[in-house]
Amino acid sequence: MDDIRKGLRLKAILIIKLKGNIHQAAIEMEPAVEAILFTKMPEKEMREKSFLEKFVGVYELAKVQANVFIKGEDTLALFAPGQPEYELIPYRGTEFNIKNLKGYSVEFVMDEKGMVIEAKFKQPNGIFTAKKK
Q: Transcribe 28-46 into DSSP letters.
A: E-STTSPPEEEE----GGG
Taking the model in full, what pTM does it have?
A: 0.74
Round to whole Å and give the CA distance between 116 and 124.
Answer: 24
pLDDT band at 126 (very low <50, low <70, confident <90, very high): very high
Q: How do 36-39 and 64-71 pair as beta strands?
A: unpaired
pLDDT, residue 1, reads 44
The predicted-structure confidence for 49-105, as pLDDT tens digits, reads as follows: 999 999 999 999 999 999 999 999 899 999 999 999 999 999 889 999 999 998 899
**Domain residue extents for the chain:** 2-39, 44-132
User: In degrees, to the nearest 5, what angle opens at C-alpha 56 toward C-alphas 48 and 18?
Assistant: 70
Q: Are 10 and 29 in contact, with CB atoms under 8 Å apart?
A: yes
CA distances from 64 to 94, 126, 129 (A): 22, 17, 12
Higher pLDDT, 77 or 9: 77
Q: What is the mean pLDDT of the chain?
A: 86
pLDDT, residue 8, reads 61
pLDDT, residue 118, reads 97
pLDDT band at 23 (very low <50, low <70, confident <90, very high): low
**Closest-CA residue to 116 (of 93, 99, 84, 100):** 93
Round to whole Å and give the CA distance between 61 and 119.
Answer: 10
Mapping DSSP to helix (H, G, I), strand (E, B) and coil, where does residue 105 land?
Answer: strand
The topology (CATH level 3) of 44-132 is: Lipocalin (2.40.128)
